[in-house]
């Protein structure tokens, strides 16, 4: 009786295959954390990781070297996740509270308050120097590190930190003075 290469491969325990399986096992927790971060559902995260492991075992010969295992596994899981979302999009589970929030419209007063708050922030930002606006927008709005801001603006890190500190303090003062001016409004109703 002749065994096909695929069946023989399943029963052979080569050193390379044992090493691959050990590496695969060591990646389980990292993959689970990533899958949970994407899906926010423990069961779906477990399913994604298990499917990823199965797909990796099936396609292990396509992996160039074990150095690229993390990226390769993440790519497999990413593709499986997207496939899963596309397939289940029509049947996606939703909590009743999520549906209520989706169809709830903010009242005009809330929209006005948000609009005025945004306008006050934009006006206060406009009153800062260009360097302070750049530093604050790159750090607080875009999330760049001090080193990245330093590289982007071609200024020393100390200067970046100084501009951020002074800019944030001035922005705080401007917003507080705007808030004080808002409290000077006389209400139409008596309390």
Q: What is the pLDDT of residue 182?
A: 64
Q: What is the pLDDT of residues 109-133, one digit of tens each?
A: 878 888 888 888 888 888 988 889 8
Q: What is the DSSP string of 12-66?
A: ---HHHHHHHHHHHHTHHHHHHHHHHHH--HHHHHHHHHHHHHHHHHTGGG---G
Q: What is the pLDDT of residue 1?
A: 41
Q: What is the pLDDT of residues 92-105, one digit of tens each?
A: 565 666 655 555 66
- Report the number of distinct structural domains present in the chain: 2
Q: What is the pLDDT of residues 156-170, one digit of tens each?
A: 999 999 999 999 999
In a domain, 190, yes or no: no
- Which residue segment(s) compose the domain that 127 sits in? 108-182
CATH code (residue 83): 1.10.1740.10
Other Cβ atoms closer than 10 A to 86? 9
In a domain, 73, yes or no: yes
Q: Which residue has the higher pLDDT, 53 or 86?
A: 53
Whether 172 shows a pLDDT value over 80: the answer reads: yes
112/83 same-domain check: no
Helix ranges restricted to H, the chain: 5-11, 15-26, 28-39, 42-58, 69-88, 96-103, 108-126, 130-136, 146-153, 157-182
In a domain, 189, yes or no: no
Other Cβ atoms closer than 10 A to 55? 15
34/85 same-domain check: yes
| Among 175, 190, 189, CA closest to 116 | 175
- The pTM of the full predicted model, rounded to 2 decimals, is 0.42
Structure tokens at 170: 């001035």
Q: What is the pLDDT of residue 3?
A: 44
Q: What is the pLDDT of residue 166?
A: 95
**What is the C-alpha to C-alpha distance for residues 63 and 69, in angstroms, rounded to an integer?**
7
Residue 91 per-residue DSSP state: G
Tell me the CA end-to-end span of the chain in Å, nearest whole number.
Answer: 96
Whether 186 shows a pLDDT value over 70: the answer reads: no
Q: What is the pLDDT of residues 81-95, one digit of tens each?
A: 888 877 766 555 656
Q: What is the pLDDT of residues 2-41, one digit of tens each?
A: 445 555 555 555 777 777 778 888 888 888 888 888 777 8
CATH code (residue 163): 1.10.10.10
In a domain, 2, yes or no: no
25/84 same-domain check: yes
């Amino acid at each position: 009786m002749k065994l096909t290469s695929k069946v023989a491969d399943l029963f052979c325990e080569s050193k390379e295959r044992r090493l691959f399986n050990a590496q695969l096992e060591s990646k389980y927790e990292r993959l689970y954390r990533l899958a949970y971060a994407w899906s926010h559902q423990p069961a779906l995260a477990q399913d994604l990781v298990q499917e990823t492991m199965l797909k990796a075992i099936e396609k292990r010969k396509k992996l160039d070297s074990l150095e690229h295992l993390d990226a390769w596994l993440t790519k497999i899981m990413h593709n499986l996740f997207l496939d899963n979302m596309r397939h289940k999009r029509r049947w996606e589970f939703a909590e009743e509270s999520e549906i209520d929030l989706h169809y709830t419209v903010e009242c005009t007063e809330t929209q006005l308050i948000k609009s005025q708050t945004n306008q006050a922030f934009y006006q206060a930002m406009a009153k800062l120097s260009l360097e302070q606006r750049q530093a604050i927008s790159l750090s607080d709005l875009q999330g760049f590190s001090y080193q990245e801001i330093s590289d982007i603006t071609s200024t020393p890190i100390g200067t970046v930190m100084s501009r951020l500190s002074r800019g944030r303090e001035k922005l705080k003062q401007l917003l507080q003075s705007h808030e004080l001016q808002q409290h000077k409004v006389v209400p139409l109703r008596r309390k």
